[in-house]
Amino acid sequence: MEFIVWNKVLIFLLFHFPGLTHSSEQNNGGWGLDSSLVDEGSCNIDIRDAATITHTQFLQEYAYTKPVILRGVTDNTKFQFLCSKLNMLRDYRDKTVRLSTANTHSYRKVDVRFEEYVTSLLTPQSEDTLGSDTLYFFGDNNFTEWHSLFENYNAPPYSLPHTSPAYSFGIAGPGTGVPFHWHGPGYSEVIYGRKRWFLYPPDQAPEFHPNHTTLSWITHSYPNLEEHKTPLECTIRPGEVLYFPDRWWHATLNLDTSVFISTFLG
């Protein structure tokens, strides 16, 4: 009985003051920061605070023309709490998750128990492994099983006319990420960890091998890019949302073990 009461007090405290679990480190939800990558790169994408941009300005300045990072547009404190490692293992341990290979066309799919993914497969990307041989959890979510989690997510508020939102949720180790590809417009945010982004306009297709990882591209191709072929780039953190317009090329690199969610506007 006493245990149960204290348990509730503790949950209350952690929920309302997540800072209690980490004194100096950023809050990582227990997902770990070890073997994080250090290079956040530079940022040449516009960053706009919620207070400095309206929905109309978003539509006029960015929606159809260029990426933007929106800061502080939603409060996802509760969703972040529910996405801690402990909470996710408690709620989803025995559920099956579908993993995809990290190449441009994502061919191979493998089903594993969520707990097995977290304990054995959620590892740092090694540089010499092909994207086509790297499996991780992004998208392919069973919306029936994950509904009670996703209903707590506050999606970015600025909609695009004639589109409806669809979520894609994932968890991945440091050094993982999707290589260059494109699709319709959308938003992406990290709930834990940092994610580095690289983007090119639709008419400036980057050079890359579809089966190589972003980590391999950043090590071998990125340093040799001519000035006029360098991408738009930025590293985003929890509390920031990156918007990418229709058909923009993009690749991502998770710098830490990351929990992330995208909202595709289709």
Instruction: Write out the residues near ligand NAG by the rule CB under 6 A.
Output: 103, 107, 132, 142, 144-145, 210-211
What is the nearest approach in angstroms of ligand NAG to the Cβ of residue 179?
11
For ligand NAG, which is the closer residue by CB, 103 or 125? 103
> Least CB distance from residue 125 to ligand NAG, whole Å?
17
Nearer to ligand NAG, 208 or 244 (CB): 208
Nearer to ligand NAG, 18 or 210 (CB): 210
DSSP state at residue 181: B
Full DSSP string of 193-256: S-EEEEEE-TTSPPP--TTS-HHHHHHHTGGG--GGGPPEEEEE-TTEEEEE-TT-EEEEEESS
In the complex, what is the shortest distance from the CB of residue 155 to ligand NAG, in angstroms, rounded to a whole number? 22
Give the nearer residue to ligand NAG in terms of CB position, either 41 or 210.
210
Least distance between ligand NAG and beta carbon 115 (Å): 16
Q: Are 245 and 164 in contact (CB under 8 A)?
A: no
In the complex, minimum distance from the CB of residue 249 to ligand NAG, in angstroms, rounded to a whole number: 17
E strands along the chain, which residues? 46-49, 68-71, 96-101, 109-113, 135-138, 165-172, 186-192, 195-200, 232-236, 240-244, 249-254, 258-265
CB of 144 vs ligand NAG, minimal distance in Å: 4
3 state DSSP class of 92 = helix
* Residue 66 DSSP label: -
19-to-14, 25, 146, 224, 236 alpha-carbon distances in Å: 8, 9, 26, 41, 20
Q: Which is nearer to ligand NAG, 58 or 114 (CB)?
A: 114
| CB of residue 96 to ligand NAG, shortest distance in Å | 7
Joined tokens for residue 52: 């400095």
Q: Pick the closer one to ligand NAG by CB: 64 or 143.
A: 143
- The whole-angstrom separation of Cα 221 and Cα 208 is 8
Q: Which residue shows structure tokens 């559920």?
A: 95
Report the residue number, 23 or 144, with the smaller CB distance to ligand NAG. 144
Give the residue from 238, 239, 237, 262 showing the smallest Cα distance to 186.
Answer: 262
